[in-house]
Amino acid sequence: MKQEIKTTYSRAEVIRLLGLGVPGMILGSSLLSSCTKYPLPDSKFSGSVGIIGGGIAGLYAGYLLQLQGIPYRIYEASDRLGGRIFSEDGILDHSVEWGASIIEGENHALFNLMTSNGAQWIDSPIQDYAFVEGYWLSEEIMKDQLSMKKLDEVILGLRDYHGADMNANLYASNQGVPASTLPVWNARLGIRNGATTDIMGILGITSKIQNASSGTTQRQLRNGSLSSVILSSFQDLSIQYQTPITTVDYSNSQVVLTDSTGNFYNHDKVIVAAPISILKSQINFNPALPSNVSSAINGISMRPGMQVLLEFNQRFWETDARRLQMDGLCPNFEVIGSGGRSVVNHSLMANLYGTAFENAQAGPTPVVAALLQQLDNHFGNSIASNNLVQSKVHDWSQDQWIQGIQSYSPVGASTLRYAFVPSIEHKISWAGEATHTEGHHGTIHGAMETAARAVQQIMTEV
């Protein structure tokens, strides 16, 4: 049996592994550990904790345990930190975010973290544009356009919906949402939640709307990247890279983790912070998990997805555009250089999630060509095809240790996440965006909140 060997990375090593050019500021412990939902009590727990997964949930859990002086080890399957926080420099005149890019609300530790690390937010007025009934509509025009007024009315009504669960598109149809606005419905409620509305349950959407408490403001960085502003705060953590955990054996007094090469690691308690897609297929538990937890793992969905960066030599959309929403292969293009983030603002990011991803994979036309054709159809004169400078594709389905975008609830699955709240035999706690039950699944700050919940359990269930 291989004994755990503690490896503490220096500040310089963490910066190198993160791929950051400059180190971020170090957060004060009182700020980063503050979480009114899950306050950390004094504890007599003196054992060690294994953390499966080096995404934001695993990192934050490790940080909180380190503040408490509790021995821990993070086991990360890949060779980098951050999971679905993945920034890349050197492509455009600003950082490109593959994965997480929006910070929702401000009533959470993540906002405090980023503010303390010097985050500068886009403060220029930017807005969504939607192609409806043959015209591009700004948000101001949408307020008076009859079809969009009906769509807004139905979306606003989701705050009070407590009826039967059903397919989200069926619900829209039953409520009289005009067919011309369904791409906008899909972009707002599907793509923004990591899927498409044809595969989502309406109660999964409404529970998120009704339970969220972090605030509704959407923020984007004006300078820098999420990696530099967020991940650089988690320094000097005990991390073991390229160690995929394949078995969690909690049948005895200690929990034994086995990695893909047959090495063993003993801990008194374990936090499982792997994506739901990985829990479905790559980690075994002994004894078998309780039926409600197994049902949650199997019932909550996380589909593959793809992002496609398109850079042009001119901008053919409005200067203040934030998103372009339209019918066709991609329901939602992000204008990733808007608000002063880019000097030239010539790039779009196509988000192909849910069945949009599947259609892109199955279509007869290569994905970049199909996206250019879609833009040409909506802007005319082959303007996208004639002005493409470069493209780059990031296919999350090819990431062996993530395999998807974010969790969502199909019909009948809206309450399954509650199975992750209690620990299992005071040995296994759960963390990660898919385990959040209060409206913040699919978010960075929601993942951090579940990490605080898991650490609270460890410290109280002695």
Q: Tell me what percent of the residues of the chain surpass a pLDDT of 90.
A: 87
**What is the rounded distance in angstroms from the CA atom of residue 190 to the CA atom of residue 353?**
8
With contact defined as beta carbons under 8 Å apart, do 52 and 61 qualify?
Answer: no
Q: Is the peptide bond prior to 304 cis by the omega test (within 30 degrees of 0)?
A: no
With contact defined as beta carbons under 8 Å apart, do 237 and 206 qualify?
Answer: no
Give the Cβ contact number of residue 178 at 10 Å: 18
The string of pLDDT tens digits covering residues 377-405 is 999 999 999 999 999 999 999 999 999 99
Give the Cβ contact number of residue 95 at 10 Å: 21
Interacting residues of 205 by C-beta distance below 8 A, sequence separation 6+: 158, 168, 189, 193, 197, 409
Interacting residues of 24 by C-beta distance below 8 A, sequence separation 6+: 117, 228, 229, 231, 232, 233
Per-residue model confidence (pLDDT) at position 36: 62
**What is the rounded distance in angstroms from the CA atom of residue 177 to the CA atom of residue 169?**
9
- CATH architecture for segment(s) 11-85+226-301+408-460: 3-Layer(bba) Sandwich (3.50)
Across the strands, what pairs with 52? 75, 272
Closest C-alpha to 226, from 123, 85, 117: 85
Q: Can you give the three-state secondary structure of the chain, one letter per residue?
A: CCCCCCCECCHHHHHHHHCCCCCCCCCCHHHHCCCCCCCCCCCCCCCCEEEECCEHHHHHHHHHHHHCCCCEEEECCCCCCECCEEEECCCCCCCEEEECCCEECCCCHHHHHHHHCCCCECCCCCEEEEEECCEEECHHHHCCCHHHHHHHHHHHHHHHCCCCCCEHHHHHHHCCCCHHHHHHHHHHHHHHHCCCHHHCEHHHHHHHHHHCCCCCCEECECCCCHHHHCHHHCCCCEEECCCCEEEEECCCCCEEEEECCCCEEEECEEEECCCHHHHHHCCEEECCCCHHHHHHHHHCECCCEEEEEEEECCCCCCCCEEEEECCCCCCEEECCCHHHCCCCCCEEEEEEECHHHHHHHHCCCCHHHHHHHHHHHHHCCCHHHHHEEEEEEEEHHHCCCCCCCCCECCCCCCCHHHHHCCCECCCEEECCHHHCCCCCCCCHHHHHHHHHHHHHHHHHCC
Per-residue model confidence (pLDDT) at position 20: 33
Per-residue model confidence (pLDDT) at position 26: 44
Segments of the chain scoring below 50 in pLDDT: 1-26, 29-31, 33-34
Per-residue model confidence (pLDDT) at position 3: 36
The string of pLDDT tens digits covering residues 17-58 is 333 333 333 455 444 544 567 888 777 888 999 999 999 999
CA distance from start to end of the chain: 26
Length of the chain: 462
Amino acid present at 354: G
With contact defined as beta carbons under 8 Å apart, do 338 and 344 qualify?
Answer: no
The pTM of the whole model exceeds 0.75: yes
With contact defined as beta carbons under 8 Å apart, do 57 and 445 qualify?
Answer: no
**What is the rounded distance in angstroms from the CA atom of residue 401 to the CA atom of residue 83?**
8
Boundaries of every domain in the chain: 11-85+226-301+408-460, 146-211
Q: Beta strands 85-88 and 347-353: pairing type?
A: unpaired
Amino acid present at 320: D
| C-alpha to C-alpha distances, 460 to 36, 253, 349, 400, 456, nearest whole angstrom | 16, 18, 44, 35, 6
